[in-house]
Amino acid sequence: MPIKLSDVMNHATFTAADPVLRACAAAAADTQLRWVHSSEVLDIAPLLSGGELLLTGGDALVTASDARRVEYIRQLAERGVGALAVETGQRLASLPSSMVRAAEEAGLPLIEFRKVVPFVGIMQAINSMLVSESVAHLRRADEASHEMAVELAHGSSLDQILAVLAGIIDATLELSSVSGVTLGNAGPNGAGTRPEGTGSPTDGAGSDEEPGHTAGTGTDGTVINIDVPVRGVPSARLIITVPADGDINLARVAGGRCVDILSLALLQRMPPGLKEVAGTALLRAVSSGSQPWRLQQLSPAAGIPPSATMVAVVVRTSTSQQLRVAMDKILKKSAQQSASYVDNAEVLALAALPFDGAASARAELVAALEELPVEAGTMTAVGPLAAGIENAPWSLSEAKVALDLAVNSSLRAAARPTSDTGGVVLDVENLAVERLAAQHLDQRARQDFVRQQLGPVLDHDTRRNSQLLETLATWLDSGCNTAQAARELHVERQSMHHRLQRIFELCGGDPRGTGRLAALHLATRLAAP
């Protein structure tokens, strides 16, 4: 029988601490525990694998900000930690209400220890009980691994191999590729659970560094994700759905124990292209900001020279899987080497461009993306040129910053429509001012600068419902070309001259040939509502 939080709450070593469940009390009866840890480190979540009861004296929480305490709760919940117990009374007088609210929202049982007890006593007593359970789990996991190996040796399908594990752990399984295509599935009765070729809703989650476990609770039970690597590169994901009355710890242990069998099955039955899976792993590493050594390691396997000049592309769309195919065709024409990856509603791509003529090749890529048919609302951003794979995360992050800024009206001039009028392409090289301001100036500083430079113009627009700010911005963006600005604004040249004259009066004269021209141009770019 799984050991649950309610069982631990009634243990003598635990009751000595006078525990009170402050959040998610109703979940105690169903929360299964795998181990008991104690730590005062707030960044402990990445070191946990789920199902733990974490004990803390609260020393670090005393000096942490309220936002950091909430983030601590959120990280533990996302990691699948079973429960958190915090000792109060000495340094931490009581549990902050923000932590209680965050735990309730995240579904993390939060326990307050109102008396001081030795954590080592609790850990020794409870973990000794858990060890006995773990031994039983390991026996059943080894049994599953052995039977799966037999099926593999007999040439069984992936569905048949998965059915062995599904029957032993009494859970529903799905094995999907990194692109979200279902490779095999099985239920507790051995039947398939999802038609072949369908995508997985969990594609894109999890660690990019090494095979790992993540868990979450859904309406159908607890979902456990386990990465399945092939030759060291994450190539598939085993998704285990454990019913509400199932043994989560057994599913975790057995699923992890069978990863090697599944890796061999993938190699034998449908060997993935190592270049493709390495490209996916590379983009996941770039997206998560991995260390340069990791990028240097993955880049050659993905066919991208580490020293190449490259550019990142980000597309936000609800048709990411379909759009990726069209994107790959463009990348093959515009780049020497490339890789793409679908991360939920985003298509991420990395293109290695010719060393000589990288700027022109990038311009051709932007032009090709503008011709790409997309659905309404699709937003595409092309990052700046990056020298070497170690700078690829910067190019990708700048593209994402541009997309985040695209909601501002000031970016409309920089957003080029695609062949489908519902989508736009952003070239981040045209947004240097906005990116700089967003990353290095706070909102108050931007507002003060805009007010100093354009105050009279803004007041005039407010009082008269005029469009002097838009007129000035268009004129400056055109290089102070009055005729071109008039065409873009669809006004007569004489009307344009009258508007400019009024703007000059409000701004202290014609700015051309003065140092004020650059300041006015900067202010118009920062004046988005």
> CA–CA separation, 107 vs 386, rounded Å?
42
Query: Regarding predicted confidence, which is higher, 484 or 245?
Result: 484
- Domains in the chain: how many in total? 4
What is the percent of the chain with per-residue pLDDT over 70, rounded to a whole number?
Answer: 88
Percent above pLDDT 90 for the chain: 24
**What pTM value is reported for the model?**
0.45
Same domain, 152 and 108: no
Q: Say which residue, 53 or 249, is predicted with more confidence.
A: 53
27 in a structural domain? yes
Segment 470-496 shows an average pLDDT of 89
Q: At what angle do helices 392-405 and 274-287 cross, to 10 degrees?
A: 60
Q: Which domain holds residue 210?
A: 133-269
Report the candidate in 114, 26, 117, 111 with the shortest Cα–Cα distance to residue 76: 111
Q: Is 321 exposed, middle or buried (0-12, 13-18, 19+ CB in 10 A)?
A: middle
Comparing C-alpha atoms, which of 274, 265, 275 is closest to residue 231? 274
* Of 183-187, 390-394, 421-425, 488-492, the least confident: 421-425
What is the per-residue pLDDT across 111-169, written as a single tens digit (0 to 9) for each? Answer: 999 998 888 988 888 888 777 777 877 888 888 899 999 988 888 888 999 999 999 98
The neighbour count for residue 377, using CB atoms within 10 Å, is 12
Same domain (yes/no): 217, 234: yes
User: Rounded to whole angstroms, what are the CA distances from 466 to 478, 506, 521?
Assistant: 20, 13, 19
- Residue pair 272/266 in contact (Cβ under 8 Å)? The answer is yes
**Alpha carbons 90 and 77: distance in angstroms, whole number:** 26
- At 382 the pLDDT is 93
State the DSSP H helix or E strand holding residue 132, giving kind and residue range, or none if neither: helix 119-153
CATH number at residue 499: 1.10.10.2840
Please list, residue by residue across 498-509, b when 16 or more beta carbons sit within 10 angstroms of its beta carbon and e when fewer do.
ebbebbeebbee
Q: Which residue has the higher pLDDT, 16 or 244?
A: 16
Q: Out of 288-302, 313-327, 444-458, 497-511, which region has the weakest mean confidence (pLDDT)?
A: 313-327
The amino acid sitting at 358 is A
Phi, psi of 213 (to 5 degrees): -115, 135
Domain-located, residue 435: no
C-alpha–C-alpha distance, residues 386 and 484, integer Å: 33
Of the three residues 269, 300, 323, the one that is the final residue of a domain is 269
Same-domain check for residues 379 and 253: no
pLDDT value at residue 309 = 93
Q: Are residues 83 and 107 in the same domain?
A: yes
Final residue before a domain boundary, out of 402, 430, 458: 430
| Amino acid at position 476, single letter | L
Give the angle 272-273-278 at the CA atoms, nearest 5°. Answer: 105
Short-list 207, 209, 183, CA closest to 197: 183
With bands split at pLDDT 50, 70 and 90, how would you rate the model's confidence at 396?
Answer: very high
**What is the domain-level CATH number for residue 221?**
3.30.450.40
- Tell which of 381, 400, 430 closes a domain: 430
**Mean model confidence pLDDT for the chain:** 82
